[in-house]
Structure 1
Amino acid sequence: MDSNPDAYSLQPENVIAVPPWTGDPNDTYLVDIIPFLEGIGLLLSDVQDIRPVVKEFKGKNVPEFYLEWEEQWKKKHQMEWEKAKPKKEGLARFVSLIGGSQQEQIMPQYQQALLHRQMVHNELIEHYKSVKDKGPELQRAIDDYEKKFQESMKKQKITHWDLLTKLDYLTNFKLSIQGPPQIPFPQPDQQPPQSQ
């Protein structure tokens, strides 16, 4: 996903183009596109190459088109499931209509996938609302932290220059106590030490 065509010019088949954010606080495009992202992740988990699916969305309003796409996906899988179900005749059909068998009561896999996507979506939307509701409180906490940080920096009363001169002073003080580092050089008449 990108709003800059230059960023995906070399891989146009791998992108979902999104409109650029202009700073409008009412712009919910990224939240609106979440069902699409959930859907391609959960409903198409068996798809090896996502590019043909992405191509279907090219040039369309993805959040709106996704709702139609998911409905078509659901109908397609429902028809496949109906075709795959064994037809019941006579007494077996009557029994399944009255009480149903356990096999009949198992939810089809495509419905499980849709239910899972909806549960994930609901959890995400609840989290989003929670963060949005706490937005002013979080902003106040950030502002308080920055204010305290600035105040503590003012109390330090040390500048970069002070820091450098103090480090220079400490280095010179250490050298004056210990003297310059001593590097032993062999005298011309001495042999270097032999390693054992």
Structure 2
Amino acid sequence: MKRTILLLVLGLSFAISGITQDNSKEAEDFYKFYSYFQAKWQVEQVTDGKKENIELNCYGSAGGCNIAIGKGANSEWSAIWGYDPKTQQWTGTGQMKDGSRFVMAISRPPAEKFKAGMTFAFTGTIWHADGKIHYVTRKFTCVDADSWHSSTIGTDQDGNAIPKVITTAKRTK
């Protein structure tokens, strides 16, 4: 009986360590893929015909995460992105200057590295400081090694469409 329990415990330990190693490898792969964003970017964002220029700085951390800070004339935010082993997605959480916050997840990498024409989706929720909630989907397109484009659509908590946001970005460093 003791021997059986010991064998079960050892077997379970090896199984768990194998899962952890798989998650570690996948986390490294995701980090390597999403390191594309680690740069300084000049971003143009258009919402309801209003244009805002944003400086975006994204850098990597020792823990395998991307830290992003964006600042424009009307907006300022920061976020941390990393691999979520539960959902097996690259997930970010952020805070905006006005107290709003968000959680977003990006679909699995569609290839080994970024290339022109590659598209994938971001999905998430924004909880605004005024109590409104927005559910959003962003279609991201890699234009080339140094630029990208996205289109964000969504609904509010009542199911009403929110303004579409068109974003273009160019790497500056």
Same fold (TM over 0.5): no
Query: Which structure would you say has the larger Rg?
Result: 1
TM-score, normalised on structure 2?
0.24
Structure with the higher fraction of residues in helix conformation: 1
